[in-house]
Amino acid sequence: MTGYIVRRLLTTIPVLLGITFIVFAMVSLAPGDAISLMLGSETANVANVERLRRELGLDLPWYEQYLRYMKGLLTGDMGRSITYKRPVVDMIRERFNNTLILAASSTLFALVISLPLGIAAAYQRRSWIDYGASTLAMLGVSLPSFYLGLLLIIVFGLNLGWLPIRGMASRSASLGTYIRHLILPSVTLGSGLAGILTRLTRSSVLEALSQDYVRTARAKGVGERKVLYKHALRNALLPVTTTFGLQFGGLLGGAAIIETIFSWPGVGMLAVNAVKQRDIPLIQGTTLVFALGFVLVTLVVDILYVAIDPRIRYE
């Protein structure tokens, strides 16, 4: 198992290298750059902008810029933001925990909603619970998150005034305030995942319940509760876990939009700013963080497999 984890961690290196290359090439070849944006302002200090362009090597062909960037990266230097003139690593460090907190609470929300709902829907198939769960799941999957976000802000923030409409509570705030600030963004970000997982849990549990081993268990006189939780659910969770791992990437991507709507000071909001400003070092840095997050979660999911299904061995 340890060998497997080490091997998996090693394979992330070429993946991350590939991502840096693809992102760098895409941003460099796409129209628009940070220097043009600076020069586009009528008040620009043209001489200083040109000097900045030379200093940062932005006048070099993009592949040379990439090599310069990679050289820095290998020595642990993620470069400086062109627009904000600060070290990228500092800017990400300030925000990383915030994104992690949002992602974790959205995941928690998705799991807390989807697992019980999916199981109940499967167990009470074609009942009102089933139909209700399916409708909710459909809504969760199909409502665009930026729309749902604004809708929740208007209803719960403005009209009812129950929850704050923006931002993260400061560090000195009480836990209650902290959680109140977390609710709307987490629900918005987690609703898509909750929808997908509800549907998947329902179908997997349904499938498991029709398997021979469940019939056998019931024939042996095992109680319904035990049949459901011990026999059916454990098998049903395997596909749910896989999907969860894959969807987590989507969750991180969605964070970019949700963080902007809810003024959540995370890496996603920073990434949106970086793209708007064509700030290549900052785009690279934020993308790398997301990629790394995705790769690590997939790894964790693969390891969880073993715990869920003892037949699986990574040797």
Query: What residues numbered 275-294 form the site for other proteins, per CB under 8 A?
Result: 276-278
Kindly indicate which of the ranges 109-117, 128-136, 165-173, 209-217 contains the residues binding other proteins, using the contact rule CB under 8 A. Answer: 165-173
Residue from 54, 86, 215, 313 binding other proteins (CB under 8 A): 86
- Of 47 and 74, which has the nearer Cβ to other proteins? 47
Note whether 39 binds other proteins by CB under 8 A. yes
Q: How far apart are CA 41 and CA 28, in angstroms?
A: 21
Interaction between residue 75 and other proteins (CB under 8 A): no
Asked if 119 is part of the footprint of other proteins (rule: CB under 8 A), the reply reads no
Give the shortest CB-176-to-other proteins separation in angstroms: 18
Applying the rule CB under 8 A, the residues between 168 and 187 that interact with other proteins are: 168, 170
SS (H, E, C) the chain: CHHHHHHHHHHHHHHHHHHHHHHHHHHHHCCCCHHHHHHCCCCCCHHHHHHHHHHCCCCCCHHHHHHHHHHHHHCCCCCECCCCCCEHHHHHHHHHHHHHHHHHHHHHHHHHHHHHHHHHHHHCCCCHHHHHHHHHHHHHHHCCHHHHHHHHHHHHHHHCCCCCCCCCCCCCCCHHHHHHHHHHHHHHHHHHHHHHHHHHHHHHHHHHHCCHHHHHHHHCCCCHHHHHHHHHHHHHHHHHHHHHHHHHHHHHHHHHHHHHHCCCCCHHHHHHHHHHCCCHHHHHHHHHHHHHHHHHHHHHHHHHHHHHCCCCCCC
Size of interface with other proteins, in residues (CB under 8 A) = 53
Of 185 and 245, the one with the shorter C-beta distance to other proteins is 185
When asked if residue 76 is in the footprint of other proteins (CB under 8 A), the reply is no
Q: Which is nearer to other proteins, 121 or 153 (CB)?
A: 153
The reply to whether 81 sits near other proteins by the rule CB under 8 A is: yes
Least distance to other proteins, CB of residue 181, Å: 11
Exactly one of 3, 14, 31, 176 binds other proteins (CB under 8 A); that residue is: 31
Least separation in angstroms between CB 120 and other proteins: 36
Q: Which residues contact 182 (CB under 8 A, 6 or more apart)?
A: 101, 102, 105, 168
User: Does 83 sit near other proteins (CB under 8 A)?
Assistant: yes
Shortest Å, Cβ 262 to other proteins: 8
Residues that bind other proteins (CB under 8 A): 31-34, 36-49, 52, 81, 83-87, 90-91, 94-95, 150, 153-154, 157-158, 161, 164-168, 170, 260-263, 265, 269-270, 272-273, 276-278
